[in-house]
Structure 1
Amino acid sequence: MNEARHEAYLNLIDSLVTCPSEEEIEILQANLELIDDGFAQYLREWATETMATLDAEEAYNCANFLYGLDFTFYNLRQGSRASNLEVAIACLESGLTVVTREAYSEDWARFQNSLGGDYQNRIRGEKAENLELAIVAYEASLEVYTRDAFPEDWATCQNNLAMAYLYRIRRGKAENLELAIAAFEASLEIWTRDAFPFEWATCQNNLGLAYHNRIRGEKAENLEGAIAAYLASLEIYTRDAFPEDWARSQNKLIWHPWRFTPATHFPKTGQGVKIIWRMPTSTELEGKKQRISKPRSQLLRHPWKFGPATHFPKTGQGVKIIWRLPTSIESEGRKPRIWNWRSQLLRQP
């Protein structure tokens, strides 16, 4: 390693060690050129050498500093996202050399849950392998985070594990989706609407996606389960309180096998467009493989404003949904946004 860069890495670490935690982001933003995979490797070496010279309490404090640094790098949106996550992983894996299950079981579970989130979002390496590592970490966390001893942490980790199963590449997709549904439903045993309304809505939204993609069971019934979960999430994800979450859930509902009655047209900015769907009747559904409509190039994936609240009918009935495109003034200077409807991982601070 270049000696000058080695010294720059060390100076950056020293700055992070000595600064108040609220200044970490500012320091990192001023040193983005140093945050690369080389820094991740150097941080591992620094942590190993430093903690070996400390007594048990000091080493534990250093490990907790690394945990906090993981959270900072995970949430850093400037620079290379791939390198930020490599540094975050290095922080946790270095900390886990001191924070063992035997010595600090609760902290160990907390580290493992966060490590699962880092691997699940990792960009470097093979995606399938990263998801396996995420699952291993979540399952390790659940060895300590039991429902009886740590119900809230257990629910959070179950949701995160379910997300990993939902997108898992290895093993059978049908089995992975069953595992995801089971874990989401486990989370909802603790995340009730009254006690944890936002978490409940998040998990309902995630559960809807799992049912949407489910392979086992009757397809029509799975879609009803998905719709019920999305509608449940909208009880909390209101347009006023959570406009982006509300829009994502509305968007997911639109992706079900509803039929277009008349053809849509593309209006000029500021004009409205009316779209009519009709759910297939039970007679039409009988004995037929349902098709999921994906109007990717049409009206549904742009940041348009929703008109009146939608109503979701029984099969065979119609529903009218109205959008308005942003005016040129509203659009000026804004990059059109593609909705990211992958649901959320929940991390502990």
Structure 2
Amino acid sequence: MILLFFISIGLSIGYIFLLQWITEGWEVFIPNKGGNPSIKVSIIIAARNEDANIANCLSSIYKNKYPQELLEIIVVDDQSQDRTAAIVKEQFPQVMLLHTIKNRGKKAAIQLAANRAQGELLMFTDADCIVPEKWLDTLVSNYNPELVNFIAAPVQIDLEDTNLSRFQYLDVAATMAVTANGILRKSYYSANGANMAVTRKIFLELYSSRLDDEIASGDDMFTVQYLAKQDPSKITFVRSLDATVTTKGEETLSDLLSQRKRWAGKSRHYPEKNIVLVQGYVFLLVAMMLFNLVFGFMTNVTAVFIAVLMLFIKITMDYLFLSHLCKHNRKEEATKKYLISAAFYNLYILFAGLVAMFPGKYDWKGRRLN
């Protein structure tokens, strides 16, 4: 029991230091890279069954003041079963509209667009995202081909007054902090495909030699991690509200779990494993809580008190960490009813960890994928 106590408390203390390390890394100041505002940019959007969102997404892009002659927008209709393609064609005739032929998923759609793109810099977002009015200027100003070939930038959930929305907002905010910390410290590498940019030439060279084509998603993580193996110094993260895109959260718990299953299931294929170590540590912490709880009820009640102590430490530290992030994002209301989000989050960590270890098929936008 003494050994169990020291292991459990050691994990909790380690978690405190982990959050402090992530917070300090997230706050690292990276100066503007002196980018050229006159380069041609190609924005790529892979869309499947997004007729409710695609017009708002494209309209938000056109609200940016970037010179139109230097802006190319490519929408790839990925076998949509609704009016996604028709809306683009009717309302945005200036947009290049492509169609996938094979039912291979988002990565194949992105590769199709990249092969047709003319811009020096490829920028990616999703069809259900809204970009801020200075998004293009902010990312381009941080692009300098001599210093940077990949830019990761923040994504946030469109916050609504529901427990599910608040949980998703906090989860994604924490993920963005973890992403920024890894990139800015050059410790591990991750990104979100809803908001990233990469040199077109580098991207095309990378795609020709990649070995993850059998995985339907993961264009973001695989791209940044393959590039990190080549030259991590040219990967940066732009921590700015002007660079932050907003995406819709999942409307039902079933859809959320399906999305997270898709995210977690590809982690075992990552070419760079340091990010998995960070995720694995948090999973181990929560698994130890559960073990103490079950062990305590079955044999020794002292273990229950250890589990409660671990949970108290984690919930408290998470609250301080997330409150700090929400204050920066000007979304303090996301921590409303925090205990509900905290309870679900710890269960979700167990779910994600098990899915990462034992991945299977999942349903996504009418498809059954690996």
TM (normalized to structure 2)?
0.24
Q: Report which of the two has the higher share of strand.
A: 2
Say which structure, 1 or 2, has more relative contact order (CA 8 Å, 6+ apart): 2
TM (normalized to structure 1)?
0.25
From the CA coordinates, give the structure whose radius of gyration is larger. Answer: 1
